[in-house]
Chains A and B, each alone.
Chain A
Amino acid sequence: MSRPFPFSAIVAQEDMKKALLMAAVEPLLGGVLIFGDRGTGKSTAVRALAELLPKIDTRQGCRFNCAPASPQEACPVCSPKNGEKQGKPIQIRTPMIDLPLGATEDRICGALDLEKALVAGEKDFEPGLLAAANQGFLYIDEVNLLEDHLVDLLLDAAASGVNVVEREGLSIRHAARFALVGSGNPEEGDLRPQLLDRFGLSVEIRTINDLGHRIEVIRRRDAYEADPDGFCSRWSRKDAAIRNKVVKARKILRQIDIPDSVLSRMSQLCMSLGIDGMRGELTLMRACRAAAALAGRPEVSWEDVSEISPMVLCHRLRRDPLDDAGSTPRIERAVAALDIAVQAGAGHG
């Protein structure tokens, strides 16, 4: 597995690709949850994303991915103790850390370095996966099979951007700013509603039913397996185009304007769907901004909202055991109802 399958070569599944790119543009979104059937390219897309994104700045030998400008106290490389020199600034690939299902709590948070403690008698911190994922992505395949207390831990770190370790006589704080990407198959188990709600975006994907697309998938996969490097270089231009889009979007993200009328309609939408708390609206606003930035527009439009609202809101609705089709149609209905109301209002006015 020298090079992952190129992102741009993934057929269809536009929602998933868009959600991943939005999370790459706006780190405050709070992660992406991809729920769907088996064999729909969930892992492939996530692994491809890391390859596509621009490199990040850090220092050589740094295990916390500190930005060179803001060294962390916990990092022995970036803030050396006894007058040693800092590591050399370098650029590395955006970290995409795979969280294996069997991982333990100390593997995730980091823990006392057992070897040093027992052999040399030194108290030293061994950074875990959260440190390694700083400035990048943490990917959990089969997130619904992960033990609950581990998911709690991850979401807490993802929401606060800080990992706090207080155990075995250690007291460490370090930055853990990463986008959480979880994927899973809902047939194998559910996530607690409290956890669902913490993921910024949630995408439901289904197996491709279009015959032409299916065949295209098999063909591309075959070509990739026959000659991975050649295939990747054939697609590298399209990948580069997407990379440029992300880089540009990150630059203009903070200047994107949201008109008051759109904001008030967002609130109306959330109210009409009965979504508790402010998190839904906040995420919707951020997601729309990211979408507008990706499209290169300076202003968020109502079309953005109606397009994106399913992936922001569908996992926040109260679950209806009778609704087989999922919550997406309910949101679409609510958006349509709002449209009609506004048009009627305009007509009367």
Chain B
Amino acid sequence: MDDLSAINALETAFGIEPCQSAPNPWQDALLAARIFASGGPSVGGLWIKARAGGVVDAYLDHLRALLPSSHRWVRAPASAPLSAFAGSIDVPATALAGHLVYQPGLLAKANLGVLLLPMAERLETPAAALIGAAMDTGRCPSGKRADQDAARFQVVALDESATPEEGLPETLADRLGLIVDLNSVAWSQVGFPETASDICKSGYQDVVLNDELLRFLSAAASAAGAPSLRVLQLLARISRLLAVLDGRRCVGETDALIALRLSLGVALSPPQQDRANQEDTPEQDKAAAERMPSPGTETAPPPEAGCDTSDALSSPSTLSEFLATVEAGSIAGMPDFTSTRAAASPRARSGKSGKSGSVRKDSRRGRPVSTSRSAPYPDARPHIIATLRAAAPWQLIRSRKRQLLAERLNTSSAAPRRQPHTLVMRDDYRYQRLRHETPSTAIFLVDASGSTALERLGETKGAIEQLLSRCYVRRDEVAMIAFRGTVAETVLPPTRSLVMAKRKLIGLPGGGPTPLVAGLERGLEMALGVRRQGSTPVLVLLTDGRGNIALDGSANRVLAAEQLSHVATCCRRHEVRSICIDIARRPREAVASLAEAMGADLHVLRHADARHMSDVVNASLEEARG
């Protein structure tokens, strides 16, 4: 009940009528478009959450119409490589002109305009970082050495993410001031104001924003999971722009609240509270309608136009109550991104999967294998010697052809152009191909404790030997860590030698308590090390899920469980591919939850059978190499 009364108090204090307390997303979107158009690069950009469709297209057309026609509108191609954003050498034009010709990148092309990023959830982090740096400094690297192009632009990012794991790279999300969610807008709701909305060109700089409201914005943003100062700055700007759009010189509370909604998606109050407010008197509603300028429609300037400090200072307690509700998470419309921002979800999961673990012929490092006519990656440099070698046999023919052409054209230009030493044409370009092998490494984590240890160890040894004999051709590696007593021990460092494996695995002792955490920690460390060397690790954990020894070696079951879940989340965060094999007599909840925490595939093998196990691991290794 406390929350409810707090919100009631809040609404009466702010004078917000119930039907407006559930904000209409389309009206919000229109308001965001106006702010986007009037704020320019200072609001960063617009984050549109929507799947492709008519609503988005209509909204983008509207947005485009709001901007002056001089604004350039540059649409980045989906999955544009990093080099497309910065400038580069225009190779065909260079070959034609005989001197270096540069072409500006997308960022420089978007200067004084809008950069539209479709499928922004697929944008790679480095590209996002490049865009972010350009937004900060207003310049971007050009193809010329140590030269920079001007790049002051606004960003419109179309986020079509379907699952919570997807999303904008945070470097970019942090810099976009406005969020519009069009997923919930039906086509029937779409309508545009008939009179062209006025876009104020006067600055927001001299609009007053008092300390108290700024403090409120800061606290609300932190509570909503966006403590970044950049977000706060954008919030402050947007609330001032709102005041300007409304013709006031001073930011009021409504501006701040609308800014919170437009910028963070924090809705003012939950819709289910509407019923509680239905007994509001009509007079109150009327007054409220006057005080709260309805977004998107042009109303007369509210009566308290001008600097009304009494309104801003009247209700410090209601503000704090509002904050309390935000902190309690009881506000509806808390955007899904705030939870992910706070919990740092593995966003990279979607973008990176399936790119490692195989032979990369087109890699940027590794052994040179051959030269080819097509560029192995977009900004590859031609291999000069090979290019010249390819061009050499044609020199005589080409120079004759050139002469003939010149004679036929009979150019009137007074001075004949100097004959170049070599005639290199587009067909001559050769590129170096590099081959980089990224093998996979299976890391076995074996529970060597308890009564079944001997049997289990035996089967694991069998599985390892089978795997090694099988994956010799692929040059995969296998490692093994056993945990028993109080410590985990690396029994077999990553190796592809069958002989060494056999030698090391002889006489491995078993029995004692289960330091599961220590084993998993060691496994994770090894997996990360293996990954750094360019190999793809696969963790294979054989356990019955009952760890009873903490990391410090003490027999503290509770602490051990806590540490275990922590290490398991680390595994997940590092995106280590893992397999959990349950070897308990009866399948246990503990192993299933551990597998879930690690993001591992779960297999139940009641009788650890060497052949079956090696099949499972082999399939996973195959999968890891993509």
Q: Would you call A37 and B228 a contact (CB within 8 A)?
A: yes
Enumerate B379-426 residues with CB–CB distance to A below 8 Å: 379, 381, 384-385, 420-422, 424
Partner of B229, one of A39, A104, A107, A132: A39
Residue B133 contacts which of A39, A100, A126, A192 (CB distance < 8 angstroms)? A100
When A102-B141, A104-B381, A126-B145 are in contact, do A218 and B229 touch as well, CB less than 8 Å? yes
Interface residues of A in 170-215 (CB under 8 A from B): 185, 187-189, 192, 207-209, 211, 214-215
Q: Given A1-B139, A211-B218, answer yes or no on A322-B566 (Cβ-Cβ < 8 Å).
A: yes
A38 to B26, CA, bound (A): 30
| Beta-carbon contact of A145 and B126 below 8 Å | yes
Task: Identify which of B83, B236, B381 contacts A106 (C-beta below 8 A).
Answer: B381
Whether A51 sits at the interface, judged by CB under 8 Å, is no
Evaluate contact between B228 and A145: CB separation under 8 angstroms: no
Q: Determine the chain A residues whose CB is within 8 A of the CB of B563 once the complex forms.
A: 322
Q: Which residues of A contact B136 (CB under 8 A)?
A: 43
Contact (A121, B421) CB under 8 Å given A187-B170, A187-B344, A208-B229: yes
Interface residue A119 (Cβ < 8 Å from any Cβ of B): yes
Helix, strand, loop or mixed for chain A's interface? mixed
Interface flag for A342 (CB, 8 Å): no
Q: Which of A80-88, A219-227, A282-290 contacts B (4 or more CB under 8 A)?
A: A219-227
Interface string of B342-371 (1 = CB under 8 A from A): 001000100000000000000011000000
Q: Which of chain A's residues has its CB closest to B228's CB?
A: A39
Chain A CB within 10 A, most for which of B83, B145, B379: B145
Nearest Cβ in chain B — how far from A243, in angstroms?
23
Asked whether B126 lies within 8 Å of A103 as measured between CB atoms, the reply is: no
Does A115 sit within 8 A of B, measured CB to CB? yes
A211 and B171: CB pair below 8 A? no
Q: B570 near A: Cβ within 8 Å?
A: yes
Q: Tell me if A240 counts as interface (CB < 8 A to partner B).
A: no
A296 contacts B by Cβ under 8 Å: no
Is B219 part of the contact surface with A, judged by Cβ < 8 Å? yes
0/1 string, B132-162, CB within 8 A of A gives 1: 0100111111000110000000000000000
Interface residues of B in 545-570 (CB under 8 A from A): 551, 563, 566-567, 570
With a cutoff of 8 Å between Cβ atoms, the chain B residues found around residue A92 in the complex are: none
CB contacts (< 8 Å) of A103 on chain B: these are 141
Beta-carbon contact of B215 and A211 below 8 Å: yes
Task: Determine whether the beta carbon of A104 is less than 8 Å from that of B379.
Answer: yes
B532 at interface by CB-CB < 8 Å: yes
A1: B residues at CB distance < 8 A: 137-139
Give the complex CA separation of A212 and B404 in angstroms. Answer: 78
Closest B-chain residue to A145, C-beta based?
B126
Question: Roughly how many angstroms separate A132 CA and B146 CA in the complex, as a whole number?
Answer: 8
Q: Return B232 CB to nearest CB of chain A, in Å.
A: 6
The smallest C-beta distance from A191 to any residue of chain B, in angstroms, reads 10
Q: A141: which of B133, B236, B421, B551 is its contact (CB, 8 Å)?
A: B133
Is A336 an interface residue when CB atoms closer than 8 A count as contact? Answer: no
Closest to B212 in A: A215
A137 → chain B, closest Cβ, in Å? 14
> Within 8 Å CB of B422, what residues of A?
118, 121
List chain B residues, Cβ under 8 A from A101: 82, 126, 129-130, 133
Residue B85 interfacial (CB < 8 Å): yes
Are A207 and B227 also in contact (CB < 8 A) when A101-B129, A222-B236 are? yes
Residues on A with C-beta less than 8 A from B129 are 101, 141-142, 145
Of A100, A107, A115, A145, which is within 8 A of B125 by CB?
A: A145
The count of A-to-B residue pairs whose CB atoms sit within 8 angstroms is: 135
- B233 pairs with A221, CB closer than 8 A: yes
A130 to chain B, nearest CB (A): 11
Roughly how many angstroms separate A37 CA and B226 CA in the complex, as a whole number? Answer: 11
Contacts of A118 in B (CB 8 A): 422, 424
Once A101-B82, A101-B126 are accepted as A-B contacts, the answer to whether A214 and B218 lie under 8 Å apart by CB is yes
User: What chain B residues lie within 8 Å of A119 (beta carbons)?
Assistant: 98-99, 420
A321 within 8 A of B: yes
8 Å CB interface, A293-349 against B: 321-322
Q: How far is the CA of A189 from the CA of B98 in the complex (A)?
A: 43
Q: Tell me which residues across on chain B come within 8 A of A112, comparing CB atoms.
A: 384
User: In the complex, A307 Cα to B140 Cα: how many Å?
Assistant: 38
| Contact code string A1-21 (vs B, CB < 8 Å = 1, else 0) | 100000000000000000000
Q: Does A168 contact B (CB under 8 A)?
A: yes
Q: Which of A128, A141, A211 contacts B145 (CB 8 A)?
A: A128
- CB atoms of A218 and B381 under 8 A apart: no
Q: Is A100 a contact partner of B171 (Cβ separation < 8 A)?
A: no
When A100-B133, A114-B100, A322-B563 are in contact, do A142 and B139 touch as well, CB less than 8 Å? Answer: no
Query: In A102-131, which residues have CB < 8 Å from any B CB?
Result: 102-104, 106-107, 112, 114-115, 117-121, 126-129
Give Cα distance in the complex from A114 to B90, angstroms. 13
A115, B99: Cβ atoms closer than 8 Å: yes
* Cβ-defined contact, A207 with B215, below 8 A: no
What string of 1s and 0s marks CB contacts (under 8 Å) between A212-254 and chain B?
0011011001100110000000000000000000000000000
B504 at the A/B interface (Cβ < 8 Å)?
no
Contact of A41 among B98, B229, B231, B381 (CB under 8 A): B229
| B99 x A147 contact (CB < 8 A) | no
Residues B364 and A149 in contact, CB atoms below 8 Å apart? yes
Indicate if B211 sits at the interface (CB-CB under 8 A): yes
Chain B: minimal CB distance from A113 (Å) = 9
Q: Is A40 an interface residue when CB atoms closer than 8 A count as contact?
A: yes
| Interchain nearest-CB distance for A201 vs B (Å) | 23
A-B contact pairs, 16 of them (CB 8 A): A38-B170, A38-B174, A100-B130, A101-B129, A102-B85, A126-B145, A142-B129, A149-B364, A188-B348, A215-B211, A218-B218, A221-B233, A225-B42, A226-B205, A321-B566, A322-B566
19 A-B pairs besides A119-B98, A188-B125 with CB distance below 8 A are: A39-B231, A98-B133, A98-B141, A104-B379, A118-B422, A121-B421, A126-B145, A128-B145, A141-B133, A189-B125, A207-B227, A215-B214, A215-B218, A225-B42, A226-B203, A321-B524, A321-B525, A321-B570, A322-B551
Closest 10 pairs between A and B when the two form their complex, measured CB to CB: A39-B230, A39-B228, A100-B141, A142-B129, A102-B82, A226-B205, A115-B100, A207-B227, A121-B421, A38-B174
